[in-house]
Amino acid sequence: MCICRTGDIPPDLFMDLSGHINAKTPFLRTEIATGILATLPKEPEAQLLVYLGEVSSEVNIPWHFHNGPLISIIVQGECIIQFSNDEAYHYTAGDVFVEPVGVVHRAYNPNPDVAMSALAVQLTSPGRAHIVNVEAPPADFK
């Protein structure tokens, strides 16, 4: 099950972690990775990468892509993920999202006062780099 913010973020890329329990439902377990099952490596030797990424205020990280699905949880601050097709999504602390395999993108921290921190988990096939930096987006990027 994916719960999407109001309209602008595709349900398979976003999951809001808060506000789903109440007095009638004091406990809730929500699956967040069902949409990426087809992109998971099938080899038993798949590589697991778990890291805390930090981006200083008003900084872009380089253009890059992932060779395996990456699930991120924003734990502090906010970020804008900009894809090479000019789509952009804004995430804030508590948001969970999946970065698709092989799609060029970058992240920007728009907050002038707070660094962004994200906990990320990625599975990649053996022998493949988790993250591949690229010089710039494709020539047709706007």
Confidence category of residue 76, pLDDT binned at 50, 70, 90: very high
The pair of structure tokens assigned to 56 is 């200083």
Give tens-digit pLDDT for 4-16: 333 344 444 455 5
pLDDT of residue 5: 33
User: What mean pLDDT is reported for the chain?
Assistant: 80
More confident residue, 77 or 14: 77
Check: pTM over 0.85? Answer yes or no.
Answer: no
Q: Which of 69, 8, 61, 76 is nearest to 35 (CA)?
A: 69
Which one has a higher pLDDT value, 72 or 38?
Answer: 72
Residue 58: which pLDDT band, with cuts at 50, 70 and 90? very high
For position 140, what pLDDT does the model report?
Answer: 53
3-state secondary structure the chain: CCCCCCCCCCCCCEEECCCCCCCCCCCCCCCCCHHHHHHCCCCCCCEEEEEEEEECCCCECCCEEECCCEEEEEEECEEEEEECCCCEEEEECCEEEEECECCCEEEECCCCCCCEEEEEEEEECCCCCCEEECCCCCCCCC
* pLDDT per position as a tens digit, 10-46: 444 455 555 567 778 777 666 655 666 677 788 888 8
